[in-house]
C-alpha cells in the first residue's frame, strides 16, 4: 500500500507541470472566450446602431440579446480538447517509461512486491487528473457565469442561464450522473491501459492483432447485447439500463484483470 | 547457487533467440556470458529478472523460484531523468527494504559522484558508475550486470573493474555480459560462450589457463572465428 501511494505521488510529480499548464490554459481560453464574446456582441450592437441609425434597444432587438449559452458555446470544443489530452496522457503515462531518455520501466518492473501497484498508481493518477479536470471545469463555468453577468450590460443579456446540451451532460449536479461520468472515464482509461499493455507485451503485428481483437470484442458485446435486448423486447427501460451497467462493470473488471496478467506474465522491456 | 534451466525464447515462429540455455552461477564468483552481438546475452539476464517472458525454462535461486536475492544492472539508465542522484538514492531507500545506504555512500565517495548531479546530465562513465552503486548497494546475493564497460573510457573501466576485486564482492555471485574482456579477464572465474541462442562452450577460467594454456580472449577467437 505504501509503495502504491509513493508510486502514485511519483507519477503525479512527473506530470504536474504539464497537467497544471493544460488546466490553466483551458480555463484561460474559456474565460477569454466569454470576455471576447461579450465585447464582440457589444461592438456588433454599436456598429449596427451607427450603420442603421437605430437606438440601442432597437439594435439589440435586431441583433438579439446574448445568453450565457451563446457566450459559452466554445466551451464544448475546449472540453473536447481536454478529453483528447486526457486520452493522450493515458497512453503517454506508459510509453514515457519505455521510450523516454531513461528506461524507468526497468526500475518499475524490478521493484519488490506485486506489479499490480504500477498499474494502480498510473490508474489513480489518471483518476485524480480526470476528477480535477471535471471539478475545475465546473468551477470555471460558475466563474465564467459571474464574469459574464459582471461584464455584460443588463439590456444586452438574455435572462436565462442555459447551458448547451453538451455542457449540460458534462456538468450535471446530479450525483449519480457525475459518478457515471467518472466511471465511464475510468473505464476508457482502463481500456486504453489494456491496449497499451497488449502492444507492449506482444509488439508489432501480433500486438496490433490483439488490439484489434479486443476492440472487436468490446464492440461485439456492446452491440450484441443491445441487439438481443431489443429483439427480445421483454425488458423495461430500467431493467435494460441495469443489464447494460452490469455488462459494463463486468467488462471494466475484465480490462483490469487482463492488464494485471499482462504486467505479471507477458510484459517485455 | 543461481541456476538457469532450459531457457527458450522465440520471436514469432521462425526467430529463435534462446534454445534451451542452462548454466549456473556460484556465490563468491564471477561468471561471464560471452557472445557476439545479438546472441541473446542481454535476453538471458532480462529473462532471469522476468523482464521478458520466455517460452520455457526456470530460474532457481538456492533451489527456489524467487528473484528477491538478485539485483540487475542494465546497460541503460533506469531512474527518471528529472531526478538528481540524491533523489534516486532516497527512492531506492524508500522502495527496497534491503537497500544498504552505507554501501551506497561509500561507493558514491569512491566514484566521486555528487548527490546534487542530475542523472541524465552525467557522463556515460558516471552513469555506469552510478548504475553500479544502485546494484551493489542492494544487499543481494546475486548481481546481474549487462555490459558494464560499454562505451566508457579506460580509466573509468579500471575504476569499475576495481569493484570486482574489492570487499563489496564478498559472498556475491556475479553474472555479467561483456565484450570488453581484457580489463576483467583476470577476475573472471567462469566463462559461458553463446552462439545462436545455445551454449557452445563453458569453462572455469583457471582450468582453461592451466590445462589448455589459453586466455579467455584466445578461446573467444577460437570459438567465434571458426
SS3 of residue B168 by DSSP:
helix
- Note the pLDDT of residue A32: 94
Residues of A with CB under 8 A from a CB of B: 3, 6, 10, 14, 100-104, 106-107, 109-112, 201, 206, 265-269
Q: Under 8 Å CB-to-CB from A101, ≥6 apart: which residues?
A: B77, B81, B120
Closest A-chain CA to B127: A102
Q: How far is B188 from chain A (nearest CA, A)?
A: 26
Q: Are A99 and A92 within 8 A, CB to CB?
A: no
CA distance readout (Å), B26 to A21, B62, B192? 53, 10, 13
Q: Cα–Cα distance between B180 and B147 in angstroms, integer?
A: 8
Averaged pLDDT, A129-151: 88
Residue A9, pLDDT above cutoff 70: yes
Q: How far is B81 from chain A (nearest CA, A)?
A: 6
Higher pLDDT, A167 or B111: B111
- Note the pLDDT of residue B144: 97
Q: Which of B50, B128, B143 to mutate to test the interface with A (most CBs of A within 10 A)?
A: B50
Residue A126, pLDDT above cutoff 90: yes
Residue A220, pLDDT above cutoff 70: yes
For chain B, what is the radius of gyration of the CA atoms? Answer: 18
Mean pLDDT of chain B: 90
Residues in A closer than 8 angstroms to B95, CB to CB, are 3, 6, 111-112
Q: Cα–Cα distance between B21 and B39 in angstroms, integer?
A: 12
Residue B95, pLDDT above cutoff 90: yes
Domains of chain B, earliest start first = 1-67+173-226 (3.40.50.300)
Residue A8, pLDDT above cutoff 80: yes
Q: Which helix (H) or strand (E) holds A199?
A: helix A175-202
Closest A-chain CA to B94: A3
Residues in B closer than 8 angstroms to A269, CB to CB, are 46, 51-52
Closest B-chain CA to A263: B51
- Note the pLDDT of residue A167: 60
Inter-chain residue contact A14 with B80, CB threshold 8 Å: yes
Inter-chain residue contact B74 with A103, CB threshold 8 Å: yes
Higher pLDDT, A222 or B22: B22
- Note the pLDDT of residue A163: 57
Residues in A closer than 8 angstroms to B80, CB to CB, are 10, 14, 100, 102, 104
How does pLDDT run across A159-186, given as a tens digit for each residue?
A: 665 555 556 655 666 777 788 888 899 9
How does pLDDT run across A66-125, given as a tens digit for each residue?
A: 888 888 888 889 989 999 999 999 999 999 999 988 999 999 999 999 999 999 999 999
CB count, 10 Å around CB of B22?
Answer: 14
Is the CA virtual torsion A58, A64, A67, A71 positive or negative? negative
Is the CA virtual torsion B164, B168, B170, B173 positive or negative? negative
Residue A207, pLDDT above cutoff 60: yes
pLDDT band at A57 (very low <50, low <70, confident <90, very high): confident
Q: Which of A45-54, A163-172, A253-262, B138-147 has the lowest mean pLDDT?
A: A163-172
Mean pLDDT of chain A: 88
How does pLDDT run across B60-88, given as a tens digit for each residue?
A: 999 999 889 999 999 999 998 889 999 99
Averaged pLDDT, B109-123: 92
Closest to B71 in 3D by CA, of B169, B143, B137: B143
Quick one: cell of B155?
Answer: 580509466
Q: Are B43 and B186 within 8 A, CB to CB?
A: no
Closest to A72 in 3D by CA, of A168, A210, A206: A168
Residue A194, pLDDT above cutoff 90: yes
Strands (E), chain B: 2-11, 15-25, 29-34, 56-61, 70-73, 142-146, 173-177, 190-195, 198-204
- Note the pLDDT of residue A195: 96
Averaged pLDDT, A238-262: 90
Is the CA virtual torsion B214, B219, B222, B225 positive or negative? negative
Averaged pLDDT, B12-26: 88
pTM of the model: 0.89
- Note the pLDDT of residue A109: 97
Amino acid at each position: 500500500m505504501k509503495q502504491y501511494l509513493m508510486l502514485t505521488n511519483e507519477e503525479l510529480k512527473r506530470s504536474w507541470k504539464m497537467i497544471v499548464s493544460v488546466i490553466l490554459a483551458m480555463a484561460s481560453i474559456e474565460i477569454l472566450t466569454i470576455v471576447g464574446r461579450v465585447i464582440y456582441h457589444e461592438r456588433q450592437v454599436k456598429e449596427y446602431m451607427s450603420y442603421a441609425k437605430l437606438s440601442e434597444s432597437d439594435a439589440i432587438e435586431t441583433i438579439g440579446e446574448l445568453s450565457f449559452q451563446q457566450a459559452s458555446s466554445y466551451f464544448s470544443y475546449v472540453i473536447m480538447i481536454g478529453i483528447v489530452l486526457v486520452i493522450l496522457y493515458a497512453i503517454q503515462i506508459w510509453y514515457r517509461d519505455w521510450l523516454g531518455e531513461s528506461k524507468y520501466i526497468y526500475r518499475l518492473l524490478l521493484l519488490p512486491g506485486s506489479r499490480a501497484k504500477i498499474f494502480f498508481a498510473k490508474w489513480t493518477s489518471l483518476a485524480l487528473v480526470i476528477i480535477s479536470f471535471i471539478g475545475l471545469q465546473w468551477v470555471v463555468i460558475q466563474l465564467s457565469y459571474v464574469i459574464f453577468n459582471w461584464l455584460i450590460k443588463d439590456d444586452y443579456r438574455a435572462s436565462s442561464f442555459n447551458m448547451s446540451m453538451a455542457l449540460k451532460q458534462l456538468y450535471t449536479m446530479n450525483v449519480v450522473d457525475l459518478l457515471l461520468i467518472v466511471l465511464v472515464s475510468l473505464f476508457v482509461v482502463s481500456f486504453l491501459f489494456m491496449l497499451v499493455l497488449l502492444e507492449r507485451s506482444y509488439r508489432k503485428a501480433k500486438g496490433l492483432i490483439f488490439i484489434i481483437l479486443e476492440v472487436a470484442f468490446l464492440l461485439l458485446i456492446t452491440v450484441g447485447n443491445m441487439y438481443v435486448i431489443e429483439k427480445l423486447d421483454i425488458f423495461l427501460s430500467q431493467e435494460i439500463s441495469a443489464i447494460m451497467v452490469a455488462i459494463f462493470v463486468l467488462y471494466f473488471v475484465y480490462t483490469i484483470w487482463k492488464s494485471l496478467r499482462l504486467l505479471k506474465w507477458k510484459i517485455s522491456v | 547457487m543461481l541456476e538457469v534451466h532450459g531457457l527458450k525464447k522465440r520471436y514469432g515462429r521462425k526467430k529463435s533467440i534462446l534454445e534451451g540455455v542452462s548454466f549456473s552461477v556460484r556465490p563468491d564468483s564471477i561468471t561471464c556470458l560471452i557472445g557476439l552481438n545479438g546472441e541473446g546475452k542481454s535476453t538471458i539476464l532480462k529473462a532471469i529478472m522476468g523482464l521478458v517472458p520466455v517460452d520455457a525454462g526456470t530460474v532457481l535461486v538456492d533451489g527456489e523460484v524467487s528473484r528477491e536475492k538478485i539485483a540487475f544492472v542494465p546497460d541503460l539508465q533506469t531512474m527518471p531523468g528529472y531526478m538528481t542522484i540524491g533523489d534516486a538514492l532516497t527512492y531506492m531507500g524508500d522502495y527496497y527494504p534491503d537497500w544498504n545506504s552505507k554501501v551506497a555512500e561509500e561507493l558514491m565517495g569512491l566514484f566521486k559522484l555528487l548527490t546534487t548531479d542530475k542523472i541524465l546530465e552525467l557522463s556515460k562513465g558516471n552513469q555506469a558508475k552510478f548504475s553500479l552503486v544502485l546494484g551493489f548497494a542492494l544487499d543481494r546475493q546475486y548481481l546481474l550486470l549487462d555490459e558494464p564497460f560499454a562505451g566508457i573510457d579506460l580509466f573509468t573501466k579500471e575504476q569499475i573493474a576495481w569493484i570486482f576485486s574489492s570487499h563489496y564482492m564478498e559472498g556475491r555471485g556475479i553474472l555479467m555480459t561483456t565484450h570488453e574482456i581484457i580489463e576483467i579477464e583476470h577476475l573472471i572465474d567462469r566463462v559461458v560462450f553463446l552462439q545462436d541462442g545455445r551454449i557452445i562452450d563453458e569453462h572455469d577460467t583457471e582450468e582453461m589457463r592451466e590445462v589448455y594454456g589459453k586466455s579467455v580472449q584466445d578461446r573467444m577467437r577460437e570459438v567465434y572465428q571458426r
